[in-house]
Structure 1
């Protein structure tokens, strides 16, 4: 039987905080010794990250510890988005085994990073596998590395997120054992005999119809449907277009998952930022490289749209699950949380409402890794929920 528990602490002393959170997690799990532990901690504890990890490992009696820095942490129904806070998830049972991994130096070697991750975990693959990945958001070559990982570990389910910070440091960190590093990836392979389910919801809803790219250069959209791209963007943004800086924090580009798609459907697109716009030149700059003939659309980041998409996804999950989850991990974009909903703990409350009192830990991410179409993808403005359930006997 898989057992798991989650704990959190806001104690000023980082050693006490780590011990307290781990003790609560072990007690909830009914474990004296864990197979593995995942830890997320805010920058207020930054100088003490190695000590926190050693404390978690000591208290949980496991060497298999991984995690990352985060602007905020999630533990059960509690979401803490500022100040000193850490969350710890522990798990155990004969059906599940943990293997931590760490790969330094990310820039310019996406294929090499993927090969090293795969080499670290390949011999430990089991009947069921879930690869949890944490990355330095500022240095990770996300799309190329994830594509290479799919080739290295075909069929392995992948979920995770980019480490985050509150702007006070300018660096993000990943954890493995008692190693703490920027410019690296870390994570944990969960392998054994269990059911793994990963789902994502998005905080953005489509505005209007899809558009065809009729002129583009590099990352510049010049024309959409034969019209200046800025005009089409301004129409989609509506009143927000009068304040360009504000518009760029709410309106983004939607890109279909599948090439040659003629429409953009719910759950079949990813979101990329608009990084600049010029009314004078009629163009917009985007965080990808569009091609003539591509289909794109515009989306609006909106609390109600986000809430409805989350509820719909949780209802779908409830129908898919054969048995109650033993535990879960939630990777939630930093643009969600109280800043979007104006209340704390929003997503966690809905997860509990639909799934019950499942031990869930997580953090607020720089980007998310989750399912899109038939493969794991780099997501933005999303919440990714990874669940582990015991198999029905």
Structure 2
């Protein structure tokens, strides 16, 4: 059993919605509450409200740029959404503020919660304070776990344990065991402008050469069709894909493709901002993820690609769930999508509702996304929608 809600409301209205959910799911095992606007600024008070209203139920309170459910999306206003469910064992956990050896410090506490193959870890990280190596530490602690999540709008997420303890840190997670792992997929709101090129020369996060050419020349060639200069809606970003498999072909393809255009669309990649340009060396500042061997392309934020991508992953997730009983879903969508991208409200909520009807869904507009990559592995990315469908085997 699961129930969701979303509403434009203040603390009193939120209390009412939380109480309604608790009445509808009396044997709840876990929940998530997303809050935006003034409620996000008062996340500690919201956590106290969740602790008292959902007494004994582990949960997580997450500040967001906006919130959503199967009913619609709330942007630019104070609002809340959430889901409460029964089934499985839910354990909130916090990652340490600083850890010289994050893997060692995390191994013992996480081994008790997500240290086996059927575990799921949902992670909500504070912007600017979450080190990507924490994802590697999580992978080493739980190599078979399903890992995904998102970045908060500001401040830390707050975990509420079943004993009523409040947990804070650069990243707060919910570990779920004893429940079928969710079906998770992700899709970027971007259109690739050209193919991928292996990075050959990097210095201090500045990519100097890729595909036998200066990186800045590659960017100029890729964006030539966008006009001079590109419009504000045509935000150009870097797309990074894994090195080619030694046997030839993409390292982690999404599926078989018969033609080059389809193969390009099926490529799995993460988006990174272009942080700067080095004209003297014809280089681009892309950060530490741009390493020799990693493949580089350029993409533009695109509403049509975002819509088609979400429709595609919703269709694939729905097909993958055949033979099981869907219980609820979480959808974590970048704040750079939404009405600002589509020019209309509720576009993504309508796509999800058309595919999943009245399935309880809760989600947020996030500062960045943590997208699944391989069993026990995830990557930070931008302008991405992450959909997770939880179900019970039938």
Assess same fold via TM > 0.5.
Answer: yes
Look up the match of 1:186.
172
SS in 1 for 2:290: coil
1:347 counterpart = 2:348: yes
Deviation at 1:64, TM superposition (A): 0.8
Q: RMSD over aligned Cα, in angstroms?
A: 2.7
1:136 counterpart = 2:126: yes
The 8 Å contact of residues 329 and 361 in structure 1, kept in 2 or not, is answered as yes
Alpha carbons of 1:293 and 1:35: their partners in 2 closer, same or farther (altered >3 Å)? closer
Which aligned runs of 4 or more in structure 1 are off by greater than 6 angstroms?
none
**CA distance in 1 between partners of 2:284 and 2:359 (Å):** 44
1:284 counterpart = 2:284: yes
SS in 2 for 1:57: helix
The 8 Å contact of residues 8 and 74 in structure 2, kept in 1 or not, is answered as no
Deviation at 1:212, TM superposition (A): 3.4
Alpha carbons of 1:120 and 1:287: their partners in 2 closer, same or farther (altered >3 Å)? same
Alpha carbons of 1:292 and 1:147: their partners in 2 closer, same or farther (altered >3 Å)? closer
The 8 Å contact of residues 106 and 139 in structure 1, kept in 2 or not, is answered as no
Deviation at 1:131, TM superposition (A): 1.3
What aligned pairs does 1:1-393 form with structure 2 within 5 A after superposition? 3-12=1-10, 14=11, 16-26=12-22, 30-46=24-40, 48-92=42-86, 95-106=87-98, 108-112=100-104, 114-115=106-107, 118-119=110-111, 121-122=113-114, 128-142=118-132, 144-165=133-154, 172-177=155-160, 179=166, 181=168, 183-238=169-224, 240=226, 242-243=228-229, 246=232, 250-259=235-244, 266-279=266-279, 281-321=281-321, 322-373=323-374, 375-392=377-394
Alpha carbons of 1:281 and 1:240: their partners in 2 closer, same or farther (altered >3 Å)? farther
- The TM-score with structure 1 as length reference comes to 0.85
Alpha carbons of 1:7 and 1:290: their partners in 2 closer, same or farther (altered >3 Å)? closer
- The TM-score with structure 2 as length reference comes to 0.85
Alpha carbons of 1:47 and 1:373: their partners in 2 closer, same or farther (altered >3 Å)? closer
Deviation at 1:120, TM superposition (A): 5.5
Consecutive unaligned residues of structure 1, counting only runs of 5 or more, are 166-171
Consecutive unaligned residues of structure 2, counting only runs of 5 or more, are 251-263
The 8 Å contact of residues 103 and 113 in structure 1, kept in 2 or not, is answered as no
The 8 Å contact of residues 325 and 393 in structure 2, kept in 1 or not, is answered as no
Describe the superposition over 1:336-390 as per-residue Cα deviations: whole angstroms up to 9, x where unpaired: 1111111122112111111221111111112212222553222321111111111
